[in-house]
Structure 1
Amino acid sequence: MKRTVRDGIQLNVERSGRGIPCVYLHGGPGYWSKSFQEIAGIILEEHLDMIYLDQRGCGRSDPDPEEHYSLKKLVDDLEDIRQQLHIDEWVLMGHSFGGILAVNYADQYPEYTKGVILFNATLNMKDSLEYQIQKGLRTLQLPSVEIPRDHIEELTALFNRTLEELRKRDLYDSFQFMNPDNKKIIDRIDQSLEMKSSFQQYVFSSEEYFKDFTPLTREIEKPVLVITGEHDHAIGPDHYRTFQFPHSQIMKINGAHHTYLENQRELEKGIENFVKTMM
């Protein structure tokens, strides 16, 4: 179903399940929510009223002709959707890049935030890109380099060159998947995904998205569940250690970047227990 937000952009929103409302925020940046919905929905919708949102300019949602993809605009979109769905409080669930949106919304709208769930989420893109670059260079058996953290254009260019070389040698999939069959599952779902480049290009050239958002974690008093893959080489397996939420649970899964594929029974138990703490 399409929902029209305050500036006229139509966003794809789907809702299914029961329990506490929970909005899913996909990563990428520039991906969509369909693969997560089809893979994880079967377990999540038993415990949560799931709302699957494709961010503006992503997946089945409309691109913004004016390329208004600021962090404020994306947070405003979330608040518009909450109001349209007449939800008093909801859980923010962010995967990868979506963690930045979840934490910023929770910081700005604590009165409407019941809790936060982070799946393999980054809250500092500089750190995560630097980790991938250095891990990639080791995998390629190349010497480490000084990372240009203060120059976004140089950082992203180095990141893209490293990923391109890894992909040429069929080495990058192991950064995101422990089992190559899991990638095939996602690829089958993504056959109908139309990638729109403007959103991703905006994010990777924007200083605001490359801020360190981990200091915000100290201010979020709501319960937080952090789910991390012990072999997540897209974000970094120890990135979660930089989070400082006052009330958090850490759930480590023997998996990579897509933990919702790796051990669903363990994941369902962890989600179920976390939901009970919010009732």
Structure 2
Amino acid sequence: MKTLYTLRPALQRLALLTVLVVAWVGLQARPLPNGTPSVTTTDGVALYARVAGQGLPCVFVHGGPGAGSFAVESLAGPVLEAQFQMIYLDQRGSGRSASSPAKSYGLDRLVLDLEELRQQLGLKKWVLMSHSFGGIIATAYASKYPERVQGLILVNSILSLPASMESYASAGYALLPAATRPPLDPAAPLPQRFFMVSALLGQQRLQGQLMYAHDSTATRLARLEPAQPANLDFASSLFNQPGSIDGYLQDFTAITAQLKIPVLVLPGAADHVTGPTHHQSFHFPRQQVVVMPGKHYALIESPREFGQALAGFGKML
């Protein structure tokens, strides 16, 4: 029969193991504090981030490019934060974040910013939720760091910028009154057609008809403008600095079949900014597609349907 003396080392090891397990579980379960953490990238750019809500941590990857997360945070925050602990990030050179002195706005750098944010927040994994142009950044991140992604939510998200630009140019040109629109050469280079149509829509104040399902959405967004920080350095550098946009022109639909993480795809039924059939080129092995009513801002204009879709997906993670 073993004596207490001979059992003591085994009991001590068991006690130590128990302490370590309890500590590890406690560390994993520890919620991320809500608030505005201080985040600075390895190349010295101060990024704005705000944590709010409860549940699985989920970083919002905004579109634009360079739009910032302020509008979505303000108008869709209650729906988002009811399902996830949201991390609203303004990308470098956007919104409330600082600019890059070196004008470093390439896709690889934006992806690295996300990873450095995750590390500084002390998260093992997180969910990524993208909107519009942010789909490119989020999918590039998921491709590089799949082990860090618990789930991916693509809201009206672009994975092939040329394809979405083609949809925008075609639908936008059709919106222009026949008497005011110049002839459009379908053989002209895509950037030329895209920027011409975009400029004409802006001049005639018709962009809202392409973007929003309801006139009230434009009014709600306009009310936010006086309070919305507007660092536009990312957007201006992307289009004005030679070579900056190159990485963003990749067709990320081609790699979707390789990403085995859970994915929720939320396209807009009449979203011609992204392209109403753009999501049909996504082939994630574990994807769920829920078509939202409306156009390019489902997370603001269809809160009930959007919230239901998030709740259902959250139960799968």
1:170: how far off?
2.5
**Residue correspondence of structure 1 range 14-93 to structure 2 within 5 A:** 14-93=50-129
Structure 2 contact 210–272 (Cα < 8 Å) conserved: yes
Cα shift readout 1:11-33 (whole Å, capped 9, x = no counterpart): 00000111111000000001010
Out of 146, 161, 186, the residue aligned to residue 146 of structure 1 is 186
Q: Give me the whole-angstrom Cα distance separating, in 2, the residues matched to 1:197 and 1:131.
A: 24
**Change in CA separation of 1:198 and 1:147 when aligned onto 2, cut-off 3 Å:** farther
**Change in CA separation of 1:37 and 1:273 when aligned onto 2, cut-off 3 Å:** same
1:194: how far off?
4.1
Match of 1:96 in 2: 132
Q: Give me the whole-angstrom Cα distance separating, in 2, the residues matched to 1:24 and 1:190.
A: 20
**Residue correspondence of structure 1 range 176-195 to structure 2 within 5 A:** 176-195=211-230
1:147: how far off?
4.9
Q: Give me the whole-angstrom Cα distance separating, in 2, the residues matched to 1:97 and 1:76.
A: 17
Match of 1:267 in 2: 306
Cα shift readout 1:41-62 (whole Å, capped 9, x = no counterpart): 1012122111000000000000
Out of 169, 172, 175, the residue aligned to residue 204 of structure 2 is 169
Structure 1 contact 33–53 (Cα < 8 Å) conserved: yes
Unaligned runs of 5+ in 2: 1-35
**Structure index of larger Rg:** 2
Cα shift readout 1:74-124 (whole Å, capped 9, x = no counterpart): 111101110111111100110001111111111110111001001100011
**Change in CA separation of 1:147 and 1:20 when aligned onto 2, cut-off 3 Å:** farther
Q: Give me the whole-angstrom Cα distance separating, in 2, the residues matched to 1:46 and 1:147.
A: 48
Q: Give me the whole-angstrom Cα distance separating, in 2, the residues matched to 1:85 and 1:96.
A: 25
**Change in CA separation of 1:221 and 1:147 when aligned onto 2, cut-off 3 Å:** farther
Q: Give me the whole-angstrom Cα distance separating, in 2, the residues matched to 1:201 and 1:210.
A: 16
Match of 2:11 in 1: none
Out of 222, 225, 237, the residue aligned to residue 202 of structure 1 is 237
1:158: how far off?
2.7
Match of 1:253 in 2: 292
Match of 2:268 in 1: 229
Structure 1 contact 96–235 (Cα < 8 Å) conserved: yes
Q: What amino acid maps onto 1:176 in structure 2?
A: M
Match of 2:281 in 1: 242
Structure 2 contact 125–150 (Cα < 8 Å) conserved: yes
Structure 2 contact 95–232 (Cα < 8 Å) conserved: no
Structure 2 contact 63–131 (Cα < 8 Å) conserved: yes
Out of 134, 142, 152, the residue aligned to residue 106 of structure 1 is 142
TM-score, with normalisation over the residues of structure 2? 0.82
Q: What amino acid maps onto 1:107 in structure 2?
A: S
SS in 2 for 1:277: coil
Out of 136, 157, 168, the residue aligned to residue 121 of structure 1 is 157
Unaligned runs of 5+ in 1: 149-153
TM-score, with normalisation over the residues of structure 1? 0.93
Out of 220, 238, 248, the residue aligned to residue 259 of structure 2 is 220
SS in 1 for 2:130: strand
Q: What amino acid maps onto 1:139 in structure 2?
A: L
Q: Cα RMSD between the aligned structures?
A: 1.5
Cα shift readout 1:131-155 (whole Å, capped 9, x = no counterpart): 111112222235553255xxxxx53
Q: What amino acid maps onto 2:313 in structure 1?
A: F
Q: Give me the whole-angstrom Cα distance separating, in 2, the residues matched to 1:17 and 1:147.
A: 49
1:168: how far off?
2.2
SS in 2 for 1:235: coil
Aligned length: 273
**Percentage identity across paired residues of the two chains:** 37
Cα shift readout 1:143-189 (whole Å, capped 9, x = no counterpart): 553255xxxxx533431221121222232211110111111111212
Q: Give me the whole-angstrom Cα distance separating, in 2, the residues matched to 1:197 and 1:147.
A: 31
**Change in CA separation of 1:147 and 1:190 when aligned onto 2, cut-off 3 Å:** farther
Structure 1 contact 203–209 (Cα < 8 Å) conserved: no
SS in 2 for 1:253: coil
- 2:44 matches 1:12: no
